[in-house]
Amino acid sequence: MGLSRYIMSLPPSRVSLLSMIFVSFVIGAVGFLVDPTSGASILDDIIDGGTSGVIIFGFGSIMAGAVTQPWVNSLGGRRMKMKQSMFLAFFSMVMFSIIYLLGCISSTLLGKDLIINFIIFASAFIFAFRLLVIWGTSNIGFLNSMVIAAVQPALIISMDIVIVFLSLTTTNIGYFSIVAFLVKAVIASAILVLAVYSFVLVVESPMRRNLGVGSLEFLSLFLSHITEDSPALEGLFEEIGEPIDTIVGVLAFRKGSKLKGLFLSPSVHPGPIGSIGGGNMPTLLAEKFNTFTMVAHGPSTHDFNPVSSKEIGKIEKAVRDALEEMEYVEYASRFYRLENDNAKIGVQFFGEDLLLLATMAPRGFDDIDFGVGLSLINLAKTRCNSRNVILVDCHNSFKGESSRVMPGNSEVFDLMDALEGLKCPSKMERLRVGCAFNGLDGLSKEDGVGQGGLKVLVVEVGDQKTAYILLDSNNMVQGFREEILESIEALGIDEGEVMTTDTHYVNTFSGGHNPVGGKKREKIIKAIVECVESAVDDLEPVEVACASARIRNLNTLGPTNSTELVSTISSIVAVSRILAPIIFLIALVLVLVWIFYLKV
């Protein structure tokens, strides 16, 4: 996810195509203009050079772009789009052109004909570059990638030869020995290919050894999801996944015999990214129930990422089984808050059951570990002999994933000490509940808002109104929670809490993190105020029931594989930063020596 910051949006195919024609004309014209031996007028140099540049660099690159995309797709790897193929051809042509111009300038300054050597170097360089890109992203194998990568330099050289040998006079490229040229080009390419192969071998082996899958396969499937929303990465996760048992908290409200709303807190992590695995779980799970449903974030980390979206069906089954056996009551306690140092826990009893909302805001924090959450649940049960305890990780003050609440962290003891102040309710009162939903249609995942939008549940006990506000987002900017709570005070709301679902549907952007509140804050707050007002208008007497259901054999990345995956990728990135410059620098030095100092 961190490496996703290097992924950029590519221009349409026509933009790359027109750019190739324009840039190749300019490069060809400049190449002729810097040649002091041409003897032609400036206008002739521009026309002849530009035309030659378009034929040699432009047409060769355009044909390479047109051929690469269908060729890659025919081999069954990651599907390449034409705009990707054309941009790769354009970028490779630009690199070739820059090296060619350096050759023209060097020949002029040194008084030697070095252009041919620079063309050989440029051909070998873009061949190696295209090989690394195609092999690394398309998942079609080394040999297939090498053949496809050779298309563009081969076409450019072919066009170059045609132009030279059809010319009546010697151009600034000059006559040369085709055999010597090809020998130099092939050996130079072989050196760079060996460097590419060695580098890939080094970065490929750790993941294959530790997890049984190759780094290139993982990379190509990851790119498929980021660029095309492909679910193919789930197949890889299923191979390395492991089953776990976890829990889901279920709070149900009904009016008569009909459900008015559900409040769920599954200890299943909505990740790893986008719509892969459980990335969009809060929305998908909520849509499985034909009623207003809030899916909050239960205590869980990336260890509990489902390997595929179909695993969400197991959570649904656990909830439905619990709904059939739940006993409803008509009363609840008032909401109050426990605090200790940085820890804050919202408390509300529903009959003999207990709902806890945990946050460290305004101090930044991230996921609460499942083991920590389970300890807090069991501690809370002993205080008032509650039948079921539902714990929600409010996930509402982003500082970074390094601030996860893990066993041994000081935050764990802050939360436990806060729970020591838990008091059993002296009395219960009838409750009324109101629900409201706003899809936040004017906002998107670019703004940190997922498909689930905004949901508000207002619980009225006696004369106290408590607003439970849930945004389908992955955490929120520090301080935004407090700003939201202040905005609803004038609506007659006595208590409240703001939560996010931790959806990773919004995490397909630069750097992987996209907390809500960084953009369009005023619009979000306005929508929340309107939604709270709608929920207040919807208040009516209800019955409530609670359960903590067990989810069995949920196939997840698991604690072992999740840690192994992250640590392996991190080590590959760390090693690559050191190894890549060394390998390619040595290869480039050898190529330059071979081309410029050794004669065939």
- Residue for token digits 């009395």? 427
Asked whether the beta carbons of 308 and 272 are under 8 A apart, the reply is no
- Is pLDDT larger for residue 66 or for residue 204? 66
Counting Cα atoms < 13 Å in the Cβ hemisphere of 234 gives 19
Question: What is the model's pTM?
Answer: 0.79
Rounded mean pLDDT, 561-569:
74
pLDDT of residue 376: 96
pLDDT of residue 173: 43
> Distance (Å, rounded) from C-alpha 500 to C-alpha 503?
8
Rounded mean pLDDT, 85-113:
89
> Distance (Å, rounded) from C-alpha 294 to C-alpha 310?
20
**Average predicted confidence (pLDDT) for the chain:** 88
Asked whether the beta carbons of 521 and 480 are under 8 A apart, the reply is yes
Lowest model confidence (mean pLDDT) among 234-243, 382-391, 557-566: 557-566
Which tens digits make up the pLDDT trace of 450-489?
999 999 999 999 999 999 999 999 999 999 999 999 999 9
Asked whether the beta carbons of 99 and 59 are under 8 A apart, the reply is no
Asked whether the beta carbons of 429 and 332 are under 8 A apart, the reply is yes
> Distance (Å, rounded) from C-alpha 449 to C-alpha 443?
7
Which tens digits make up the pLDDT trace of 119-154?
899 999 999 999 999 988 888 889 999 999 999 999
SS (H, E, C) 8-47: CCCCCHHHHHHHHHHHHHHHHHHHHHCCCCCCCCHHHHHH
Asked whether the beta carbons of 454 and 414 are under 8 A apart, the reply is no
CA 94 to chain centre: 29
* 258 burial type by CB count under 10 A (0-12 exposed, 13-18 middle, 19+ buried): exposed
- Both ends of the chain: CA-CA distance in Å? 48
pLDDT of residue 174: 43
pLDDT of residue 573: 79
The dihedrals phi and psi of 247, each to the nearest 5 degrees, come to -130, 160
> Distance (Å, rounded) from C-alpha 561 to C-alpha 210?
9
Q: For the packed helices 82-110 and 115-138, what is the interaxial angle rounded to 10 degrees? A: 160
Residue 100, classed as helix, strand or coil, is helix
> Distance (Å, rounded) from C-alpha 375 to C-alpha 379?
6
User: In the structure, what pLDDT confidence band is assigned to residue 168 with cuts at 50, 70 and 90?
Assistant: very low
Closest C-alpha among 343, 226, 316 to residue 549: 316
Most confident of 163-167, 535-539, 595-599: 535-539
Residue 362: cis peptide before it, omega within 30 degrees of 0: yes
Sequential DSSP letters for 196-224: HHHHHHHHHHHHHHHHSS-HHHHHHHHHH
- Report the relative pairing of strands 343-350 and 454-461 from DSSP bridges: unpaired
Cross-strand partners of 356: 347, 391
Asked whether the beta carbons of 96 and 126 are under 8 A apart, the reply is yes
Let me know the angle formed at the C-alpha of 27 by 25 and 29, rounded to the nearest 5 degrees.
70
- Report the relative pairing of strands 454-461 and 464-471 from DSSP bridges: antiparallel
Asked whether the beta carbons of 547 and 250 are under 8 A apart, the reply is yes
User: In the structure, what pLDDT confidence band is assigned to residue 530 with cuts at 50, 70 and 90?
Assistant: very high
> Distance (Å, rounded) from C-alpha 145 to C-alpha 147?
6
Closest C-alpha among 353, 388, 374 to residue 245: 374
Let me know the angle formed at the C-alpha of 237 by 233 and 243, rounded to the nearest 5 degrees.
150
pLDDT of residue 77: 75
User: In the structure, what pLDDT confidence band is assigned to residue 39 with cuts at 50, 70 and 90?
Assistant: low
Give the tokens for residue 364.
């930044």
The dihedrals phi and psi of 244, each to the nearest 5 degrees, come to -135, 165
Rounded mean pLDDT, 79-99:
92
> Distance (Å, rounded) from C-alpha 91 to C-alpha 72?
18
